[in-house]
Structure 1
Amino acid sequence: MIALNTPIKHVDIGSRVDGFVAHVASFREIEVMDIRKQDKQIRNIIFKQADLMDMNFSTIDYCDSVSALHSLEHFGLGRYGDTVNSDGHLVGFNNIFRILKRGGRFYFSVPIGRSRIEFNAHRVFSLQYLLDIINPYYTINSYSYVNDIGELVENLPLTGSAITTNCGCHWGCGIFELIKR
């Protein structure tokens, strides 16, 4: 989608460099913000050490495209050197909203299922919880998910039973393309 949407500036928040980030860097420049320091120089990847849980994060209207793929669920749990903060994912979510320009796209994925924290690992979010934090700020352009047995279900409407059952997932992966209002 990033290749099709051709943003002026794409920023990634804490996704794996050896996966998604490397794929994007194979065809365009990408800036990566991560709490972890990165010393390696990699073509088309610009690293910036940043704490997206900083309440005074001052980067506003910085880019027209941002991704956070399997990163937000770790915010505030201390696993990657971040400060322990029970609302770390919310602070991070709000700061991502702030760096994205109006009309910009946010590519976002997190584990879905019954809301919980899995010790020393990550959060899992219910779809209703995610919709409650997404809807005031974004329009959902598309929603897909990977179910518990690894099957990709694309472009699913988020309605009644899909929401209440978390698409039948205990530990699936919700994949959103959002547009900032």
Structure 2
Amino acid sequence: MFLNKTLKGLLSVFKNYKSYHADLKKFKNSSKKTNIRFSKRYNFYPILTDKTSITNIEPHYTYHPAWAARILAQTKPIKHVDISSTLTFCTLVSAFVPFEFYDYRPANLHLSNLKSEHADLTQLHFDSNSISSLSCMHTLEHVGLGRYGDPIDYDGDLKAMSELKRVLAEGGDLLVVFPIGKPVIEYNAHRIYSYEQVLLHFEPLELIEFSLIPDDHVNVGIIKNATKEQSDAQNWGCGCFWFKKTKI
């Protein structure tokens, strides 16, 4: 099995390089028919895997920031606070909403409307009930596993979840995103949670919306208002949860 995969991989590399050199020859010939605008000496930088019939995407990180941005467009917060989500979310949304981004490894970002500083999810420095619009997406599953230099702690994720609930203001919105499916720890990459685990860990917050990026995402993208049954059927789905704090 391993030998077959290796041979197939080598064959694919050979075919890609053959195609690369054929295209290079065509490109050089095409340059003879026009004005030369660059040096005739090329710097070679082969990119061999992008000749696809469709544009490939990473479904979790393509769809979940889009899901969250659409919710913020609906809720129209005066300010939004995010803890350690993908940087594309804060850099884009801060063009429209005053944004504070915090990470255990602070990001050196310099954009208008965007503040970027350090925070420890297990010991947030914010006052209780102080943040009305908050997100923490595809992050909690890592806390305590040491992958990003944070302290090793089996219950690090639970401590982080408690902190998010503590700092969320009454009436405030919390957006959290997790790998969803059969509960398991894949050390030291991440944890995968069940739908029921997430609801349990975020009690007593009210679930406003659950959307799902399923394993079979190609034809459906993201399923809005997905069911527990759909969530339970996943191996490596992406669960998007919108909670609201209705009581203190």
TM-score normalised by structure 2 residue count: 0.66
> 1:59 offset after TM fit, Å?
3.0
Which of 126, 137, 155 is matched with 2:225 structurally? 155
Structure (1 or 2) with the larger CA radius of gyration = 2
Answering whether residue 214 of structure 2 is matched by residue 144 of structure 1, we say no
Q: One-letter code of the match for 2:197?
A: Y
Q: 1:47: how far off? A: 1.1
Change over 3 Å in CA distance of 1:106–1:58 after alignment to 2: closer
Q: Does 1:121 align with 2:178?
A: no
Q: Secondary structure at the match of 1:129?
A: helix
The amino acid of 2:185's aligned partner reads: I
Structure with a larger share of its residues in strand = 1
The structure where helix makes up a greater share of residues is: 2
Matched, 1:32 2:97: no
1:11 alignment partner, SS class: strand
Q: Is 2:88 aligned against 1:13?
A: no
CA RMSD of aligned residues (A): 1.6
Superposed displacement of residue 3, structure 1:
2.0
Question: Over residues 97-140 of structure 1, what are the superposed CA-to-partner deviations in whole Å (9 max), with x where a residue is unaligned?
Answer: 11110110001111001111112211100111112112x22111
Moved over 4 A (4+): none
Q: Distance in 2 between matches of 1:152 and 1:25?
A: 23
Helix, strand or coil: the match of 1:152?
coil
Opposite residue 117 of structure 2, the aligned amino acid is K
SS of equivalent residue, structure 2 residue 133: strand
Structure 1 residue runs of 5 or longer lacking an equivalent are none
Kept after mapping to 1: 8 A contact 2:184/2:192: yes
Unaligned 5+ segments in structure 2 are 1-70
TM-score of the superposed pair, with normalisation by structure 1? 0.88
Q: Which amino acid aligns with 1:171?
A: W
Considering Cα pairs closer than 8 Å and 6+ residues apart, tell me whether 1 or 2 has the greater RCO: 1
Q: How many residues align?
A: 173
The reply to whether residue 61 of structure 1 matches residue 121 of structure 2 is no
Distance 1:67 1:174 in 2: 14
Letter of the 2:74 partner, please give it: L
